[in-house]
């Protein structure tokens, strides 16, 4: 099988292997299990680490830790030193760096596998964190 279908299949297989490895390393719980216990902002961060492919829903996260949205936002920023959205981007870019080590994975495939709906936004976010576009990063790490 050649072309985009083959590349997508390779990317998804590698992505699945990364997720399995990450879940084993983090001893993460399946997403069907209960949300973090009351009041633990650090567990909201863990939830974001495990569910980085999902759209960010601040109201849902605040409810999971039994806080109002403003209280949750302040507590999260105090605990992690960043906003929930920036934290989520950092998690996604961390995984993107691993995915892009494979020269067969396109930037678009990585983008959509990570939960981004727009490649331009993914490229902008990636570049703002690493100073390189995803393709530049991929070419650099694949050369090494």
Domain that holds residue 64: 4-143
Beta strands in 1-144 (DSSP E): none
Q: What is the pLDDT along the chain (144 residues), one digit of tens a residue?
A: 565 566 666 666 676 666 656 655 554 444 444 444 445 899 999 999 999 999 999 999 999 999 999 999 999 999 999 999 999 999 999 999 999 999 999 999 999 999 999 999 999 999 999 999 999 999 999 886
CA distance readout (Å), 38 to 16, 30, 80, 93, 140: 31, 19, 18, 29, 44
**How does DSSP classify residue 28?**
P
pTM, two decimals, is 0.71
CA distance readout (Å), 52 to 31, 56, 61: 12, 8, 13
Rounded to the nearest 10°, the torsion over CA 6, 127, 84, 36 is: 30
CATH of the domain at 67: 1.10.10.60
Helix orientation angle between 119-130 and 84-99, rounded to the nearest 10 degrees: 90
Number of Cβ within 10 Å of residue 5's Cβ equals 9
pLDDT at 40: 83
The total domain count for the chain is 1
Report whether 21 contacts 28 (CB < 8 A).
no
Report whether 99 contacts 113 (CB < 8 A).
yes
């Amino acid at each position: 099988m050649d072309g985009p279908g083959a590349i997508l299949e390779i990317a998804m297989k590698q992505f699945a292997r990364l997720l399995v490895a990450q879940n084993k390393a983090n001893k993460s719980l399946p997403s069907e299990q209960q949300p973090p216990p009351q009041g633990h902002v650090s567990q909201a961060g863990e939830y974001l680490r495990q569910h980085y492919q999902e759209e960010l829903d601040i109201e849902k996260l605040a409810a999971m830790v039994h806080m109002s949205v403003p209280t949750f936002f302040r507590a999260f920023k105090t605990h992690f030193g960043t906003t929930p959205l920036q934290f989520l981007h950092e998690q996604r870019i961390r995984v993107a760096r691993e995915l892009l080590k494979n020269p067969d994975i396109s930037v678009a495939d990585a983008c959509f596998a990570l939960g981004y709906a727009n490649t331009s936004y993914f490229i902008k976010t990636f570049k703002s964190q690493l100073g390189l576009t995803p393709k530049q990063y991929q070419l650099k790490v694949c050369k090494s």
